[in-house]
Amino acid sequence: MTVLVSGANGYIAEHIVNELLNQDYKVIGTVRSEAKADKLFKQFGSNPNLILEVVEDISDLHAFDEVFKKYASEIKYVLHTASPFTLDVEDYVKELFIPALHGVKAMLHAVEKYGATTVERFVLTSSYAAIMDFDKEMVPGTIFTETSWNPDNWEKAQESVGRAYNGSKVFAEREAWNFIEEKGDRVKFKLSVVNPVYVFGPHVFDEDVSVKMNTSCEIINKAVHTSANTIVHPFETFGSFVDVRDVARAHLLAFQRKDLIGKRLLMDAGRFSTQDIFDVLNQEIPVLKGKVPVGKPGTGGQHNNIGATVDNRLTCELLGFEFTSFKKTIVDTAQQILKHDGSH
């Protein structure tokens, strides 16, 4: 059984591909260049169940046509993970909105045109960004759930880079649900969506750790490399976290289980703040003790009183597995970073 995974070399997608190969699926992954395809193929040990195709830019509304022309009869499941996750952008529309929105449009268009009767399930990697409301995020008592929607429109989402990234995710997700509403009867596939909060955890391959990491892991990377005498606000970053291995697992269950059809899986394993990261680094990783700031140990939870919280009991019940703890997620991420530091 063949699964198409877009953005196969992404941080989350590599875990998904890894899990798919472990479960004996045939995987067709898309990456942006031959060099990235060669690297990923080697990383997965030249696994014959992995085929990589180049899709240079998902901003192109026909980006996935060639892949479908080639493999349409084979592809049974589509996991669309590719989307820009960076805050280092100048042109919000060109660098975030268009690739996110056109990417999902391009994939839906290709499935409609070439796989209407063969693709059975479609899983979209959306985000908490498509759920939360910036104007309510700091209002105590606000609770976001699987039924909450980021209300920003095209204009509002251009007010800041954070809003712009979140906008890119909600525009893409709305597009997918609208497609189902309008054209659901013309295609065989059913839609499920995965909405993770901040995703941490190790990369599949140690060699993918770099001086500057993917947007979410960079938060841990930065903490590991902050010297002890630096004054860091305990809530410089706060929000919710989830382990990348749990996010990958949810992507597989999302297409494997009938009861997850039509669901938004809000992947949230609990709250955290910068202080909580430093607590784990100081307490659990001996080589970092005294090397990173101590702050005010044990006070990280105070950020819970600051603003909105998340209630994802529905997702937890549906998935039925226990999420990885904050301690394990942070320790595993930091240890891989330290291993990389040691090898240079």
- Which of 18, 43, 118, 125 touches ligand NDP by CB under 6 A? 125
Phi-psi region of 31 (alpha: psi -120 to 50; beta: other; left: phi over 0): beta
CA 191 to chain centre: 17
What torsion do the CA atoms of 325, 328, 330, 332 make, to the nearest 10 degrees? -150
Q: Residue with the closest Cβ to ligand NDP?
A: 10
Q: Binding pattern to ligand NDP, positions 64-103, x when CB under 6 A?
A: -----------------xxxxx-------------x----
Query: Minimum distance from CB of 198 to ligand NDP (Å)?
Result: 5
Query: Minimum distance from CB of 310 to ligand NDP (Å)?
Result: 13
Q: Report the amino acid identity of residue 144.
A: F
Q: Are 104 and 124 in contact (CB under 8 A)?
A: yes
Nearer to ligand NDP, 49 or 59 (CB): 59
Query: Minimum distance from CB of 85 to ligand NDP (Å)?
Result: 4
Q: Binding pattern to ligand NDP, positions 169-198, x when CB under 6 A?
A: x--------------------------x-x
Using rule CB under 6 A, residue 59 touches ligand NDP: yes
Q: Are 280 and 154 in contact (CB under 8 A)?
A: no
Residue 169 annotated as catalytic: yes
- Which of 118, 127, 274, 324 touches ligand NDP by CB under 6 A? 127
Query: Minimum distance from CB of 167 to ligand NDP (Å)?
Result: 12
Using rule CB under 6 A, residue 221 touches ligand NDP: no
CA distances from 117 to 108, 179, 187, 188, 212 (A): 13, 16, 6, 5, 43
Query: Minimum distance from CB of 133 to ligand NDP (Å)?
Result: 16
Closest CA to 199 of 240, 154, 148: 240
Helix spans in the chain (H) = 11-22, 34-43, 65-71, 92, 98-114, 161-183, 217-224, 244-256, 274-284, 313-319, 326-342
- Which of 3, 4, 5, 12 touches ligand NDP by CB under 6 A? 12
Q: Are 176 and 262 in contact (CB under 8 A)?
A: no
Q: Which residues are catalytic?
A: 169
Question: Which positions lie near ligand NDP, rule CB under 6 A?
Answer: 7, 9-13, 32, 36, 57-59, 81-85, 99, 125, 127, 169, 196, 198-199, 214, 216
